[in-house]
């Protein structure tokens, strides 16, 4: 069990020592003191400065040994060797946490990385937790704790609220805080991690997942350095029904090894991370605005598993815009019941009662109609999310109070729904709507996105833990095997392959093809030639013994010409599968998350179309089927254009068994490519297989 509470001394201390404390409140060593004095930190502040007796009105101490008490946390704002010495001295005194502003470590060069390793040894020898180095700091507004040197607080302080900010970037973390504050969103806690020599983003997410101060987590990540804490934190947040909205930036390939595998070249670090985030119910936001929109909506703590949107509007045009946005997201907008539509028509004959419900500007003459329409929309339509578009009228002096009163009365009768007002209003009026419990947006499409995201969280929180498949016994060869050997290994793990025979000479190939029945497929057999079609190493529709004889010679000649140094073991003769849907299945061994499985529409265009889905291994057949169903090309498997349906149970089983094989094989398995896998009406069969194995 990971102890995320070990961060408590860093975030909820009773005392802090500031090494390098400055009397100047604008300097890096002075800002934290000025901020904590301004915000009445509830603990004790120990400034450490050998050149001053008083710092910003507080008694200063010449060194750590002179402190009258043991600080819970030490803030390091000195450079070079002095920083290392301070950490050692704090550790000897029994300090539990370090916040390291000091830079010049692993972010610089190899020498800096060596200094950082020594720093970590000191921290761990004394049983401390360290944030940084090269860290901007954190704040916990609830106790007035501001060990941070950001200038953000010169323009305002955090507002009361329930959104926690976790960021690998200090500057961007405080940027998110500032944008949130300007939108009247409360962010009581913000923690930035810097170089993550000790405390990582996973630690911070885990702490917030169990912290009473936080209901919703807004995260910024540039790269995940370790998986154990990160995955445990995501799992804990999901278990505690705390949504995580993450901005994950940076897109890169897995390096030079990616060129050896179709799966790896498609995946890249970003695609794998994206799959892991989805697996744990983390919603990935495209930008800061979207992240805060979704976090804002999540503070209502209403997460419908089956979310439906009901729209009340005074503008037909806005209704169309909202409908378009909802359709693009797959956000259900079922029509109002017929009886309810008739009832609304009886109130305003020229209204549009279907959904969106356009109550028209007539309601401005009879404000009580606003409440009547809203009540019918919710009570009869049963929508879990309600978006009311009143534009300028909602913020006007003449109509605003009536609209707010009518909508509030209905909302109080249905507090289990998500209520959102789309109005243009002054900050004071917006806050009045929010005080009643409404979400408020100017842009209705942003409102639709935020409301729809609550279903994503609802489904993640409601999901039952998936069963894991039984792992097979796998014995990998000493190096990357030939296709024939790869298929033998996979078949032993329960992964079905197309019947085939490895032939060392042309006569054997003729015998094998004749026994199999024509037509057959012939492929060059070499562990050094992984992608045979690229060198003309595959022959289809080989229809008779003479063609087999000639084909053997052709394949060997082509292989020698294209890869003169390759080991050639002969030719594979395989039964030619007719019909079915070509799929691609694969495994990539991610450096952070381990083996990850891929499924996609296969064939030679898999890397072009990129209609693929990834998931961390291992997983059961149900999760495999969910992956397959999420492909854009899934209708092909369902029998599009009158074609027979594929055996989805067999394909799902194959994908699940491949995921179990990848875990059982261990770290020497660098990747697997099965392309194509023929999804047939009565089974699925791998026609081509590559196992990329690190040498023992």
CATH number assigned to the domain with residue range 302-462, chosen from the 4 options 3.10.150.10, 3.40.50.970, 3.30.1360.200, 3.40.50.261: 3.40.50.261
Q: How far apart are CA 145 and CA 9, in angstroms?
A: 12
pLDDT of residue 63: 96
pLDDT of residue 262: 44
Task: Name the residue with higher pLDDT: 579 or 400.
Answer: 400
Cβ atoms within 10 Å, residue 327: 12
Tell me the per-residue pLDDT of 34-52, one tens digit each, with 9 for 90 and over: 999 999 999 999 999 999 9
Phi, psi of 502 (to 5 degrees): -85, 125
Task: Name the residue with higher pLDDT: 309 or 80.
Answer: 309
Residues of the chain with CATH 3.40.50.261: 150-299, 302-462
Cβ atoms within 10 Å, residue 557: 11
Q: How far apart are CA 481 and CA 531, in angstroms?
A: 13
Q: Is the pLDDT of residue 608 over 80?
A: no
In terms of Cβ atoms closer than 10 Å to its own Cβ (0-12, 13-18, 19+), residue 424 is: middle
pLDDT of residue 201: 96
Residue 268: pLDDT band (50, 70, 90) is low
**Fold category of 499-575 in CATH:** Dna Ligase; domain 1 (3.30.1490)
Cβ atoms within 10 Å, residue 127: 11
Distance of CA 509 to the CA centre of its chain: 50
Q: How far apart are CA 382 and CA 335, in angstroms?
A: 10
Residue 581, CA distances (Å) to 160, 202, 365, 645 in order: 56, 41, 61, 9
Q: Is 250 helix (H, G, I), strand (E, B) or coil?
A: coil
Q: For residue 580, which of 682, 674, 496 has the smallest C-alpha distance?
A: 682
Residues of the chain with CATH 3.30.1490.20: 499-575
pLDDT-wise least confident of 166-180, 203-217, 635-649:
635-649
pLDDT of residue 440: 98
Residue range 557-580: average pLDDT?
A: 93
pLDDT of residue 254: 43
- Beta-carbon contacts of residue 125 (< 8 Å; ≥ 6 apart): 91
What's the token pair of residue 110? 């190899």
Q: Is the pLDDT of residue 433 over 90?
A: yes
Tell me the per-residue pLDDT of 395-428, one tens digit each, with 9 for 90 and over: 999 999 999 999 999 999 999 999 999 999 999 9
Report the length, in residues, of the chain: 696
Tell me the per-residue pLDDT of 656-676, one tens digit each, with 9 for 90 and over: 999 999 999 999 999 999 999
Query: 633-653: b or e for each residue (b if 16 or more CB lie within 10 Å)?
Result: bbebbeeeeeeeebbbebbbb
Tell me the per-residue pLDDT of 464-520, one tens digit each, with 9 for 90 and over: 888 889 999 999 999 999 999 999 999 999 999 999 999 999 999 999 999 999 999
Cβ atoms within 10 Å, residue 660: 24
Model confidence, pTM: 0.91
CA atoms 197, 201, 204, 209: torsion sign: negative
Q: What is the CATH number of domain 150-299?
A: 3.40.50.261
pLDDT, averaged across the chain: 94
Tell me the per-residue pLDDT of 164-191, one tens digit each, with 9 for 90 and over: 999 999 999 999 999 999 999 999 999 9
- Beta-carbon contacts of residue 118 (< 8 Å; ≥ 6 apart): 84
Q: How many CA atoms lie within 13 A of 516 on its CB side?
A: 27
Q: Is the pLDDT of residue 267 over 80?
A: no
What's the token pair of residue 76? 């390091």
Q: Is 40 helix (H, G, I), strand (E, B) or coil?
A: coil
Say if residues 83 and 105 touch (Cβ distance below 8 Å). Answer: no
What's the token pair of residue 112? 């800096």
Q: How far apart are CA 425 and CA 286, in angstroms?
A: 27
What letter would DSSP give residue 145? B
Domain range 581-693, CATH architecture: 2-Layer Sandwich (3.30)
Of all residues in the chain, what percent carry a pLDDT higher than 70? Answer: 96
Tell me the per-residue pLDDT of 512-523, one tens digit each, with 9 for 90 and over: 999 999 999 999
Residue 269: pLDDT band (50, 70, 90) is low
Question: What is the signed CA dihedral for 176, 180, 181, 187, rounded to 10 degrees?
Answer: -80
Residues of the chain with CATH 3.30.470.20: 581-693
Say if residues 152 and 174 touch (Cβ distance below 8 Å). Answer: yes
pLDDT of residue 607: 67
Tell me the per-residue pLDDT of 233-264, one tens digit each, with 9 for 90 and over: 999 999 999 999 999 987 654 433 443 444 44
What CATH class does 1-133 carry? Answer: alpha beta
Q: Is 265 helix (H, G, I), strand (E, B) or coil?
A: helix
Q: Is the pLDDT of residue 117 over 70?
A: yes
pLDDT-wise least confident of 67-71, 602-606, 617-621, 688-692:
602-606
Residues of the chain with CATH 3.40.50.720: 1-133
pLDDT of residue 605: 63
């Amino acid at each position: 069990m990971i102890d995320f509470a070990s961060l408590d001394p860093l975030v909820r201390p009773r005392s802090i020592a500031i090494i390098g404390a400055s009397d100047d409140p604008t300097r890096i060593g002075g800002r934290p003191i000025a901020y904590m004095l301004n915000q009445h930190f509830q603990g004790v502040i120990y400034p450490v400065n050998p050149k001053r007796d008083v710092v910003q009105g507080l008694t200063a101490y010449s060194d750590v040994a002179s402190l009258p008490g043991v600080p819970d946390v030490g803030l390091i704002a000195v450079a070079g060797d002095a920083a290392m010495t301070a950490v050692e001295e704090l550790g000897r005194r029994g300090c539990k946490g370090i916040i390291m502003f000091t830079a010049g470590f692993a972010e610089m060069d190899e020498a800096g990385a060596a200094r950082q390793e020594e720093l970590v040894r000191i921290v761990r020898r004394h049983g401390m937790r360290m944030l940084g180095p090269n860290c901007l700091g954190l704040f916990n507004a609830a106790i007035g704790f501001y060990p941070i040197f950001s200038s953000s607080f010169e323009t305002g302080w955090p507002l009361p609220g329930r959104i926690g900010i976790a960021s690998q970037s200090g500057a961007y973390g405080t940027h998110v805080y500032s944008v949130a504050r300007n939108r009247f969103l409360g962010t009581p806690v913000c923690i930035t991690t810097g170089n993550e020599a000790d405390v990582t983003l996973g630690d911070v997410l885990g702490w917030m997942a169990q912290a009473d101060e936080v209901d919703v987590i807004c995260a910024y990540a540039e790269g995940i350095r370790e998986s154990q804490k990160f995955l445990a934190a995501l799992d804990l947040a999901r278990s505690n029904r705390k949504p995580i909205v993450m901005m994950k930036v940076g897109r890169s390939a897995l390096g030079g090894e990616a060129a050896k595998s179709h799966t790896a070249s498609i995946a890249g670090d970003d695609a794998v991370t994206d799959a892991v985030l989805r697996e744990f119910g983390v919603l990935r936001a495209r930008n800061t605005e979207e992240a805060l929109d979704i976090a804002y909506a999540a503070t209502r703590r209403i997460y419908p598993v089956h979310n439906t949107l009901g729209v009340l509007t005074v503008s037909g045009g806005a209704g169309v815009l909202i409908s378009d946005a909802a359709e693009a997201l797959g956000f259900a907008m079922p029509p109002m019941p017929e009886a309810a539509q008739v009832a609304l028509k009886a109130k305003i004959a020229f209204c549009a009662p279907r959904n969106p419900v356009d109550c028209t500007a007539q309601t401005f003459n009879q404000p009580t109609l606003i409440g009547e329409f809203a009540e019918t929309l919710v009570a009869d339509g049963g929508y879990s999310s309600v978006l009311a578009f009143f534009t300028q009228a909602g913020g006007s002096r003449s109509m605003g109070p009536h609209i707010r009163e009518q909508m509030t009365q209905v909302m109080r009768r249905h507090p289990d729904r998500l209520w959102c007002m789309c109005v243009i209003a002054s900050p004071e009026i917006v806050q009045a709507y929010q005080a009643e419990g409404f979400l408020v947006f100017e842009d209705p499409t942003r409102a639709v996105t935020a409301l729809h995201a609550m279903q994503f969280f609802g489904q993640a929180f409601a999901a039952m833990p998936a069963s894991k498949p039984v792992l097979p016994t796998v014995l990998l060869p000493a190096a990357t095997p030939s296709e024939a050997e790869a298929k033998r290994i996979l078949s032993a793990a329960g992964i079905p392959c197309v019947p085939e025979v490895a032939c060392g000479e042309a006569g054997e190939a003729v015998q094998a093809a004749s026994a199999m029945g024509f037509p057959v497929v012939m492929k060059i057999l070499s562990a050094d030639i992984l992608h045979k079609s690229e060198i003309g190493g595959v022959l289809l529709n080989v229809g008779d013994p003479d063609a087999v004889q000639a084909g053997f010679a052709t394949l060997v000649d082509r292989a020698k010409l294209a890869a003169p140094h390759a080991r050639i073991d002969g030719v594979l003769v395989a039964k030619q599968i007719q019909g079915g849907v070509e799929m691609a299945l694969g495994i990539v061994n991610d450096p952070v998350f381990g083996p990850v499985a891929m499924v996609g529409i296969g064939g030679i265009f898999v890397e072009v179309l990129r209609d693929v889905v990834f998931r961390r291994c291992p997983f059961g057949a149900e999760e495999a089927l969910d992956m397959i169903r999420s492909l854009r090309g899934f209708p092909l498997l369902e029998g599009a254009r009158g074609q027979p349906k594929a055996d989805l149970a067999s394909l799902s089983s194959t994908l699940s068994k491949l995921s179990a094989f990848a875990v059982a094989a261990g770290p020497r398995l660098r990747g697997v490519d099965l392309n194509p896998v023929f999804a047939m009406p009565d089974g699925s069969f791998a026609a081509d297989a590559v196992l990329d194995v690190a040498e023992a």
